[in-house]
Structure 1
Amino acid sequence: MLRPLRNRVIVERNENEESTKSGIIITDSSKERPSQGKIIAVGPGRLRESGELQPMSVEVGEEVYFSKYAGEEVEYEGNKYLILDDDDILAVIE
């Protein structure tokens, strides 16, 4: 598995719906990249100037909203993931 460094998280994007509520099918070229997903892995945290480790505010398994164009998309063992800085996470879905 991938292990994020410092204050980064690995997110698996949620898939967009294939059709609208009225039944119109959305093609791949028309789909927007989803801006929510599930956290798969969390780094140890940010190192403060004092040398202390600031723990992460999110945990593995949480569903989150993140900035639409944030992060770096990677493919690992046939699955696509997004590596985000913790500052790119906007909210936790409860």
Structure 2
Amino acid sequence: MEEVLAIAAIFVFLPWIILHYVTKWKTSASITTDDEALLEELYSLAKRLDERMDTVERLVASDNPGFKPARLVHDSEVDNQQLRELEELIAEKKGASK
């Protein structure tokens, strides 16, 4: 009887425990859908704020010719390319989840 329990422990219970915790580890390592929604909301908020800053800087520059914006490069192509890549990833993620 003890031999049967030892064999069951080795071939059934031990792999079950290992696989159980491996599964728990893999599921906890990913971000949740709530996290993804929050990140997407923060991204859209940051994009809107960036557009507002551009508008405010243009308005101030049109009223005051001596105004120099705090940004080094206005509407930089490098920044815009990174934003386009991020938007493409978000669109792909939405397309894959549907």
Q: Greater share of strand residues, 1 or 2?
A: 1
Fold shared per TM-score above 0.5: no
- Place the TM-score, normalised by the shorter chain, in its bin: under 0.3
Greater C-alpha radius of gyration: 2
TM-score of the aligned structures, taking structure 2 as reference length:
0.21
